[in-house]
Amino acid sequence: MAEYKRMQNEQQLFEKTQLGNKQAFEQLFKSYYAPMCLFAQKYLSDNDECEDVVQKVFVKIWEKRKSININSSASNYLFTAVRNQCINHIQHQKIKQQHQNYTLNNYQNENINEIDFPEPGLMSKIEKSIEALPPRRREIFRLSREEGLKYHEIADKLGLSVKTVETHLGLALKTLRESLKEYRKIIISFFIGLA
């Protein structure tokens, strides 16, 4: 009986959260944050990463609360969401590592000299131009360029629509091309895949 009441209470908190009740959402967060972090440790070894994953789950729940459909209990939904987010995190880390290894191997295998980059400090200028982008646009650009995420993966990760991601990337490219137009021929390969 006590278990049934607890499940009913959880369900009510979730339903109130879906209606935009912040107090219900906070109560749900307080009740589940620690157990969800503990559960995330089955997949991730780093405590900070576990907390980050759980926080992302709650952010997504709040942002998408109106469209969430629960087919089981609120508890099952929350822990399944944590598991899925952990798996996504692991996959993203692998992609990031593969990209770093690829870049490192190419850097070691190619003889980069003044012919490749006639302008000293060009990479530094590219980095400064990226850093000058608005925060959200810069984040989306880095997820696409550095982590190799696809539009829909970035949209899911940040809780945005695919169209919004496309728009931000398009504007980021336009800004970067403009700020680096004197090196246009040199940096075409840097932006390949986003053009």
What pLDDT score does 112 carry?
A: 43
What pLDDT score does 188 carry?
A: 47
CA dihedral 30, 36, 38, 44 (to 10 degrees): -140
Residue 2 CA to residue 6 CA, distance in Å, equals 6
Residue 95 CA to residue 77 CA, distance in Å, equals 27
Are 2-90 and 113-191 equal in CATH topology?
A: no
Fold of 2-90: Rna Polymerase Sigma Factor; Chain: A (1.10.1740)
Region for 174 from its dihedrals, namely left if φ exceeds 0, alpha if ψ lies in -120 to 50, beta otherwise: alpha
What pLDDT score does 129 carry?
A: 81
Residue 80 CA to residue 36 CA, distance in Å, equals 10
What pLDDT score does 192 carry?
A: 42
Other Cβ atoms within 10 Å of 37 Cβ, number? 18
Query: What residues of the chain score a pLDDT lower than 70?
Result: 1-8, 71, 96, 99-123, 182-195
What pLDDT score does 102 carry?
A: 60
Fold of 113-191: Arc Repressor Mutant, subunit A (1.10.10)
Domain locations along the chain: 2-90, 113-191
Q: Comparing C-alpha atoms, which of 171, 168, 172, 173 is closest to residue 155? A: 168
Residue 186 CA to residue 139 CA, distance in Å, equals 24
What's this model's pTM, rounded to 2 decimal places?
A: 0.48
Residue 72 CA to residue 79 CA, distance in Å, equals 11
Residue 62, phi then psi, degrees to nearest 5 = -65, -45
Residue 110, phi then psi, degrees to nearest 5 = -100, 145
Residue 136 CA to residue 182 CA, distance in Å, equals 26
CB 130 within 8 A of CB 180: no
Q: What is the pLDDT of residues 43-93, one digit of tens each?
A: 888 888 889 889 989 888 888 888 877 767 888 888 898 998 888 888 877
